[in-house]
Amino acid sequence: MGTYTRILLGASGAVMALIAGARLSGINGDSGRGSTGSGWSGEVKVSNTGGLSSGVIGRGLAIDSRNRLHVVWNEQGLPQRAYYARSTDGGSRWSTGRSLSDGSRPAYSPNIAVGPGDVLHVAWVEAYADGSRRVRYSRSGDSGLSWTGVRTISPAIKGGISTPSISVDTRNRIHVAWHTGNPDYSQPLCKVFYTRSTNGGSSFSSARQLNTGSGHAAWPRFSVEGTTGDVVAVAWRDNRAKEDWDVYVGVSADGGKTFTERIGVASERPDWDPDVLVDVDGVLHLAVMTMRPGGEGVTVDYQRSTDLGLTWSEQVTLSESLSRFPFWAPATSGGVLWLFWKDERDFRTSACPGFGRDRCADIAGKYSTDGGVSWSAFERSTDLGVIEVKLPSPAVGPDGVPHVVWSDTRGSRSAEALYHVRRLLAPAAP
């Protein structure tokens, strides 16, 4: 375990959750060989397959009201599968990973969310023999012990489908968004689609397109776990106005029945890969990657809107060095905003020798106790040296403690695995 340091309100945060009771079968609790940041627990290995277990873009971690941790990931193999595991003791031990699909088709890119009553909801992509791909959905009402209600919630798409982003509001409406196509190619254009369920996942609405422009729209991400009203917001990268990316936000004031497009960020520089969170008051919190002037690296920037995206606060840079991929940590209570990102300050320095296969990246973040008006000091969740963290997923437990999971290839390319850390203390409540 890392050095115990009491981190008060002035220090910044990262992700974790505590969990209680219940014995698990197939326990896995191997310690990793990396190092964590001051004020964070020692890392624990989550996946125990012995193969390639890689993280996911978006929500790979969810924490229920009893502080049980639930993780999903990509398990490489023939076929590729979407895997799930849980911990009931705060992340010290993990159940044996299990496939969420029946294994007859490649299944990948799962995202997970927890709703009222601690019901778990997972969406992933499956590839069919006819060349199509579809978004699939399943739920669990017994804390991940069994999964039911598997169904297709998207049209059959001949081409790519992104990781489906899923979030559940406090009124038990399930919201899912994804993009079709591949933004690395000029055609066909990527489009962002959205669907929702108002009956706990028994059925979903027809998928609707959120973007209206003539360019690519890709990688929608969002979080509505903490909202008690009808505001829903989905952010994506969009290049309708220029070859480099801008950020657009689809905003709904009626729980997802209808959406209006808003411009989130459209500077003269590339702005992309956003994540938007709606808080209990319906305020929109938007985090984006922004290219520095002259192309000298990327920063993580933040802004907020109190009028459904009509206007935005002045943009604030939260990262203090070369950083990428902001991730909000979903939280259903506590009033503390947590934002994390990949911190690459060591990349291309003497601390990261050469240009090898890894970028010497760690997980870092900050938190706000006043709705994004001010932010804590910077802190690291990991300090892994030359190892590159990949695809971090943060979440906050009901006790206010943040947790993070990620994957890395510290052993070899053929032995990628998932790891977990948690903060030792929650910040003071506002």
- CATH number reported for the structural domain that contains residue 292 in this entry: 2.120.10.10
Strand stretches in 294-398, DSSP E: 298-305, 316-317, 323-328, 337-343, 362-368, 379-380, 390-396
Q: Are strands 69-75 and 61-63 parallel, antiparallel or unpaired?
A: antiparallel
The whole-number average pLDDT for the span 256-264 is: 98
- The answer to the question of residue 380 being in a domain is no
> In this prediction, what percent of the chain has a pLDDT beyond 90?
72
Assess whether the previous peptide bond of 427 is cis (omega < 30° from 0): no
Q: How far apart are CA 228 and CA 317, in angstroms?
A: 29
Higher per-residue confidence, 419 vs 26: 419
Token reading at 314: 């002045």
- The answer to the question of residue 362 being in a domain is no
- The answer to the question of residue 12 being in a domain is no
Q: Considering the entire predicted model, what is its pTM?
A: 0.90
Lowest mean per-residue pLDDT among 30-39, 163-172, 231-240, 387-396: 30-39
Which pLDDT value is given to residue 1? Answer: 30
Q: Given a cut of 70, is residue 97 above it in pLDDT?
A: yes
- The answer to the question of residue 210 being in a domain is yes
Token reading at 330: 């979903």
Question: How many structural domains are present in the chain?
Answer: 1
Q: Given a cut of 70, is residue 265 above it in pLDDT?
A: yes
Amino acid at residue number 31? S
Domain that holds residue 227: 45-316
Helix (H) or strand (E) holding 249: strand 246-252
- The answer to the question of residue 82 being in a domain is yes
Kindly report, residue by residue over 116-127, the tens digit of the pLDDT: 999 999 999 999
Which of the 8 DSSP states describes residue 3?
Answer: P
- The answer to the question of residue 281 being in a domain is yes
The whole-number average pLDDT for the span 160-185 is: 95
- The answer to the question of residue 194 being in a domain is yes
Kindly report, residue by residue over 7-53, the tens digit of the pLDDT: 222 222 332 222 222 223 334 455 444 556 679 999 999 998 888 99
